[in-house]
């Protein structure tokens, strides 16, 4: 295997030697471009011969014909055909052309013209090698059938595509477009929040206490302070401290870290958006979420449409995202799914039996709210397809949310579900430090009893709240999952440039 690879690599190294013998530097310092590939077609227009252009990019197709060679040059804008002819290039230029490989980065200069088959092409008069490719990229062959690009024998191994994202991107323009769409989505969301007067901030990734969610943390150690530090599992508690400080509307987009399993919807580090707005309650935040979803979908659709990647994903169907989204109350929807008048009237034994029936383990050690949550996830959440707000969760499941007006056993909390997955989680944020301390202490008891995901008491956060925390609404949105939903992507690793993987 390695022998053969060496054989392939050897051939490219030999070309380096041949280039050196001709005094050609294989790795350049720069190149002045006049245009991008996609500009060539409009630039030539209906003419047969056109202006001289200077383009740079990667050789993505190469067809040698003796004393002429056809190739395609790819750059971020697209691709354009190149025509090399010995007579035009001269002895030295042709010698270099002869040593080109698929994957080389080159710069060319020459006039545009139209070939016999009508394709807009650069007649290369000057050729510069900008970076010799010493390792073959796994290009597939492409043909166009009925206007659609069909790729043969390409780079298909999902694991290798994730590991070598640089190669995946280099040979798959549609993957580049997908990640451009992801960045545009973030940009659009920032614009949306900025436009509402939100301030983007940066809070600590390394935290002496972790909180704001239920998850196992990554633990590290600071040498100089000789103390443990945790990678954050959520931004929540720091952002709300800032609202105490007088920043009425704040948000952060950053990575959270959870030391749990990896599967198609979980990566140990993932991108979280959290935003907090003083004097708003959770109903106001629902409207924010609806508008944000439309903003994000529009940005994604614009990029993918321009790249010719129109799909049937939600981003392309405004009707799916047209608000207001459906509302569903937690307790009544669970009662309805279980075909009982009132789930809270069921005995502990009946709840445990129902949970056991759907395969929940260790039902004996779970509290009533936890049992109901299991039932809810199985019977309700997983069946929600169109975007739907589930509202008013039990208090025990929501230690940072305010009690619901009129029913203190519930909290003013909503989660947004779509296609069976959680997209957002939000509350009317608890701002009563006395109540918050009791909730923390209840969590601490769970933690002491062995619940690894329960939080402890965060005294500094309580101190901040005691200074007076304005009422506020807060929302957390998993950006990876939002983007997966909008693009119809099945695996989180396909929306993360460098997903966490076992070392090779």
Partner RNA sequence: GACCCGGUAGCUCAGUCGGUAGAGCAUGCGGCUUUUAACCGCCAGGUCGUGGGUUCGAUCCCCACCCGGGUCACCA
Nearest approach, Cβ of 77 to RNA (angstroms)?
Answer: 17
Which CA distances in Å does 404 have to 7, 284, 393? 70, 15, 9
Containing 353, the helix (H) or strand (E) segment is helix 348-357
CB of 466 to RNA, least distance (A): 21
CA distance 469 to 166: 46
152's CB contacts (< 8 A; 6+ apart) are: 140, 141, 142, 143
**Element (H or E) spanning 4, and its range?**
helix 2-21
- CB of 87 vs RNA, minimal distance in Å: 4
Give the CA radius of gyration of the chain: 29
Angle between helix 479-487 and helix 173-195 axes, rounded to 10 deg: 120
Please tell me the distance from the alpha carbon of residue 54 to that of residue 107, in angstroms, as a whole number.
7
Q: Kindly state the smallest distance separating residue 170's Cβ from RNA, in Å.
A: 13
Q: Between 252 and 374, whose beta carbon lies closer to RNA?
A: 374
Distance CA 117, CA 192 (A): 47
C-beta of 156 vs 206, nearer to RNA? 156
8 Å CB contact between 272 and 248: no
Rounded to a whole number of angstroms, the minimum distance from the CB of residue 159 to RNA is: 4
Token readout for 384 is 């929600």
- What does the longest C-alpha to C-alpha distance in the chain come to? 91
State which residue, 398 or 431, has the beta carbon closest to RNA: 398
Measured from the CB atom, the residue of 251 and 417 that comes closer to RNA is 417
How far, in Å, CA of 144 to CA of 20, rounded?
38
Q: Tell me how far, at minimum, the Cβ of 213 lies from RNA, in Å.
A: 4
**Least distance in angstroms from the C-beta of 253 to RNA:** 20
Least distance (Å) from RNA to the CB of residue 295?
A: 25
Least separation in angstroms between CB 198 and RNA = 23
- 7: tokens are 């054989």
Closest separation in Å from C-beta 396 to RNA: 8
CB 129 within 8 A of CB 104: yes
Instruction: Please identify, using beta-carbon distances, which residue of 3 and 312 lies nearer to RNA.
Output: 3
Residue linked to tokens 């949550």: 373
User: With respect to RNA, which residue has the nearer C-beta, 82 or 253?
Assistant: 82
Instruction: Report the residue number, 78 or 136, with the smaller CB distance to RNA.
Output: 136
| Rounded-to-integer distance, Cα 182 and Cα 351, Å | 42
Long-range contacts of range 13-18, CB-CB < 8 Å, 24 or more positions apart?
Answer: 13/134, 15/99, 15/101, 15/132, 16/132, 16/134, 18/99
* Shortest distance (Å) from residue 499 CB to RNA: 9
Q: Which of 130, 375 has the CB closer to RNA?
A: 375
Question: Residue 80: beta bridge partners?
Answer: 73
Check if the beta carbon of residue 307 is closer than 8 Å to that of residue 177.
yes
Nearer to RNA, 277 or 422 (CB): 422
Distance between CA atoms of residues 473 and 338, nearest Å: 31
Orientation angle between helical segments 282-306 and 479-487, nearest 10 degrees: 50
In the complex, least distance from residue 450 CB atom to RNA, rounded to whole angstroms: 13
Residue 9: is it exposed, middle or buried by C-beta count within 10 angstroms (0-12/13-18/19+)?
middle
468 is written with which tokens? Answer: 């007076």
> 186 or 367, CB closer to RNA?
367
| Closer residue to RNA in complex, CB, 155/251 | 155
Nearer to RNA, 26 or 196 (CB): 26
């Amino acid at each position: 295997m390695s022998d053969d690879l060496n054989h392939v690599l050897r051939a490219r190294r030999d070309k380096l030697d041949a280039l050196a013998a001709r005094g050609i530097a294989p790795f350049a310092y720069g190149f002045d471009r006049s245009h991008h590939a996609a500009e060539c077609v409009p630039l030539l227009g209906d003419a047969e011969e056109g202006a001289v252009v200077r383009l740079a990019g990667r050789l993505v197709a190469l067809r040698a014909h003796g004393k002429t060679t056809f190739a395609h040059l790819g750059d971020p804008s697209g691709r354009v055909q190149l025509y090399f002819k010995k007579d035009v290039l001269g002895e030295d230029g042709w010698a270099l052309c002869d040593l080109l490989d698929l994957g080389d980065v080159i710069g060319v200069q020459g006039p545009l013209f139209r070939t016999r088959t009508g394709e807009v092409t650069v007649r290369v008069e000057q050729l510069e090698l900008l970076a010799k490719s010493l390792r073959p990229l796994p290009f597939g062959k492409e043909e166009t059938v009925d206007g659609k690009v069909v790729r043969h024998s390409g780079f298909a191994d999902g694991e290798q595509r994730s590991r070598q994202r640089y190669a995946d991107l280099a040979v798959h323009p549609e993957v580049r477009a997908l990640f451009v769409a992801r960045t545009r989505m973030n940009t659009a969301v920032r614009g949306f929040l900025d436009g509402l007067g939100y301030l983007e901030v940066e809070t600590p990734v390394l935290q002496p206490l972790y909180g704001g969610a239920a998850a196992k943390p990554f633990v590290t150690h600071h040498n100089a302070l000789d103390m443990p530090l945790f990678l954050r599992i959520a931004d929540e508690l720091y952002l709300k401290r800032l609202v105490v400080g007088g920043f009425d509307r704040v948000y952060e987009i950053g990575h959270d870290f959870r030391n749990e399993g990896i599967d198609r919807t979980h990566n140990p580090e993932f991108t979280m958006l959290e935003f907090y707005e003083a004097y708003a309650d959770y109903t106001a935040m629902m409207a924010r979420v609806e508008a944000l979803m439309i903003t994000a979908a529009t940005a994604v659709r614009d990029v993918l449409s321009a790249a010719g990647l129109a799909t049937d994903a939600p981003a392309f169907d405004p009707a799916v995202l047209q608000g207001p989204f459906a509302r569903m109350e937690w307790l009544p929807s669970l009662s309805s799914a279980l075909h009982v008048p009132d789930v809270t009237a069921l005995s502990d034994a009946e709840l445990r039996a129902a949970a056991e029936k759907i395969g929940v383990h260790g039902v004996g050690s779970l509290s009533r709210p936890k049992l109901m949550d299991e039932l809810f996830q199985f019977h309700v959440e997983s069946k929600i397809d169109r975007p739907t707000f589930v509202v008013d969760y039990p208090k025990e499941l929501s230690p940072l949310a305010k009690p619901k007006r009129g029913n203190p056993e519930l909290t003013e909390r909503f989660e947004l579900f779509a296609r069976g997955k959680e997209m957002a989680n939000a509350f009317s944020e608890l701002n009563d430090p006395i109540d918050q301390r009791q909730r923390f202490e209840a969590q601490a008891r769970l933690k002491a009893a062995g619940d690894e995901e329960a939080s402890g008491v965060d005294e500094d956060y309580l101190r901040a709240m005691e200074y007076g925390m304005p009422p506020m609404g807060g929302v957390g949105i998993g950006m990876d999952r939002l983007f997966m939903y909008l693009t119809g992507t099945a695996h989180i690793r396909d929306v993360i440039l460098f997903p966490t993987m076992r070392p090779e």
